[in-house]
Amino acid sequence: MGVPERLADRMSMAEQHEYFRARFSRRTMMRGGAVTLGAVAGGVFVPGASARAATASSAAPARATSTGKVDGVLVAPFGRHLAYGADPRTEMTVSWQVPVAVRRPYIRIGAHPWDLSRKIEAEVRELFTPAGVGASGDHTQYYLHARLTRLRPGRTYYYGVGHDGFDPASAHLAGTLGTFTTAPAHARPFTFTAFGDQGVSYHGLANDSLILAQNPAFHLHAGDIAYADPAGQGKSADTGFDSRTWDQFLAQTESVAKQVPWMVSYGNHDMEAWYSPNGYGGEEARWQLPENGPDKANLPGVYTFTHGNTAVISLDANDISFEIPANLGISGGTQTKWLEAQLKKYRAAKDIDFVVVFFHHCAYCTSTAHASEGGVRDEWVPLFEKYTVDLVINGHNHVYERTDVVKGGKVAKELPIGGTAYPETDGVVYVTAGAAGRSLYAFSATESYQGHEKDLESVSSFVCVDGDRQNETVAWSRVRYLDYSFLRVDVTPAPKGRTATLTVRGIAETGEEVDRFTVARRV
């Protein structure tokens, strides 16, 4: 049982966490392993530990605390997923899961599948869900992470994950090996993919298969990742939580995430109140993201990385959401200040042509479910326009929708399917790619997509403002597609004096192209 619903409505995320933690004795919560993520000390996550201590612990990865009641030969790793480090040219983290505690987990890595001589110990993060929390109480999950550094740019590596009794270098386990490729040292053409709101479903699996076929350099997941908490309000009173949904999700995603860096941002369904005051304790156990954001203690899903000529920024819109205010104001404004500093830095960098920003809540969308988030428009849209961001990718609404070029809340330039936007002079294009696998929403207006265009002068919608919804009639809704889909972006650099491009495509679960446009920038 969580916080009574009437009480939860008046409590912040941190207050709910303290209420929930007080209901369980330390002895009860530590029985199964870790309670919440802070720093790693002896294999157990210490509640309230500082981010500084967590960073220091990575130099000496913790070992599993269990002596191991199950023979390691009977335990197979699963749920492998990759993430770039702060420098994608030289850093990669390989993460995975085991169903029970194992002894001495590690990763083997090498330039060839027959040469995996480099062996690195893995960090163990045990995540304990206390009794009384949803359907999976009194349950421990075991996540493992191996941070790889000093890699060579543009190089493909082979790796295998194992533990005592399970050696991926053994001939009979050769089929468990994976590969990854680091970012290149210099700008080259590449592809990346993106979506949000996936969860566990046949449609989510189908989208994963299509993404793998695009051969992307990396994938962006714009929040609401697994839906272990189906309510998505960031409340410990929500009784539908099931931590085992993450096991299903990571197993589903492994086919692509084991070889494509899976870069996530956090949505409202990713705030799990019982693990930590900010709701992200569970996420920090499962993911190892770049640690170059403004506030790792409160906003672990905020970071940035560059790949070739493109800078990518992940934001946490829970910090500024009026619609779902569980974490509203958690950064105290530091995230927005950091965002402006990053945008200013990238626009001044001679080797960065494009800036792509992704996060969960939509700046501009006409879905009848969540529509647009006023907090994003107030805090970040002016910065996107000031620094001529090339592409903004959102989730939250389970649809595909794309705007015209927008500036000051109005259409600065119509952008029909097949058209070209010039951010330096025109404005910003926003794409909602939230139809990755969860049940679909609806539009207030008819669909309009490639081969089925319906050019409407205006669409009725609303924007979520402080404490309410405000109706609006908008002209910026250009493409509306109501079926499962994802985003493919092809990046083409250019020599100085020529035009570099982003070719952006909306691709349906059938493989059909439903949208296409180009973002062009003279370099």
Find all residues with CB under 8 Å of 303, minimum gap 6, and list them.
Answer: 86, 289, 290, 291, 292, 293, 313, 314
Instruction: Assign domain 191-522 one CATH number from 3.40.50.300, 3.40.50.2020, 3.20.20.80, 3.60.21.10.
Output: 3.60.21.10
d(CA 521, CA 523): 6
pLDDT at 1 over 60: no
Q: Which CATH number fits domain 5-179: 1.10.10.10, 2.60.40.380, 3.90.920.10, 3.40.630.190?
A: 2.60.40.380
Mean pLDDT for the stretch of residues 462-490: 97
**C-beta of residue 437 within 8 angstroms of C-beta of residue 204:** yes
Measured CA to CA, the distance from residue 490 to residue 216 in angstroms comes to: 9
User: What's the pLDDT band for 236 if we cut at 50, 70, 90?
Assistant: confident
What's the pLDDT at 58? 33
| Phi and psi torsions of 337, nearest 5° | -65, -40
Average pLDDT over residues 217-233: 97
Count CB neighbours of 24 within 10 A.
Answer: 17
Sheet-wide strand order for 459-465: 372-373, 459-465, 468-474
Query: What pLDDT shows up at residue 22?
Result: 59
Which has the higher per-residue pLDDT, 1 or 182? 182
Q: Name the region of 414 (left: φ>0; alpha: ψ -120 to 50; beta: rest).
A: beta
Contacts of 348 (CB under 8 A, 6+ apart): none
CA atoms within 13 A on the CB side of 334: 12
Contact 241, 215 (CB under 8 A): no
What is the pLDDT, as a whole number, of residue 15?
A: 66
Calculate mean pLDDT across residues 53-57: 30
Collapsed DSSP state (helix, strand, coil) of residue 505: strand
Asked if 178 and 124 count as a contact pair (C-beta separation under 8 A), the reply is no
Q: What is the pLDDT of residue 237?
A: 81
| pLDDT, tens only, 278-323 | 999 999 999 999 999 999 999 999 999 999 999 999 999 999 999 9
Q: Where are the beta strands (DSSP E) in 11-51?
A: 39-41, 44-46
Question: How far is residue 493's CA from residue 499's CA, in Å, rounded to a whole number?
Answer: 8
Q: Could you report the per-residue pLDDT of 34-51, keeping only the tens digit for each?
A: 222 222 222 333 223 333
Instruction: Identify the bridge partners of residue 403 per DSSP, sorted by sequence position.
Output: 477
Domain ranges of the chain: 5-179, 191-522
Q: What is the pTM of this model?
A: 0.89
Alpha-carbon span 264 to 249, nearest angstrom: 14
Q: Which residues lie below 8 Å from residue 470, measured CB to CB, with a gap of 6+? A: 374, 462, 463, 464
pLDDT at residue number 404: 98
From CA 74, how far away is CA 194, in angstroms rounded?
36
Pairing of strands 78-84, 92-98: antiparallel
Residue with the bigger pLDDT between 401 and 57: it is: 401
The pLDDT of residue 467:
83
On the question of a common fold for 5-179 and 191-522, the answer reads no
When the pLDDT of each residue in the chain is averaged and rounded to a whole number, the result is 89
Percentage of the chain exceeding pLDDT 70 = 87
For residue 154, CA distances in Å to 88, 151, 240, 356, 427 come to 10, 9, 44, 21, 33
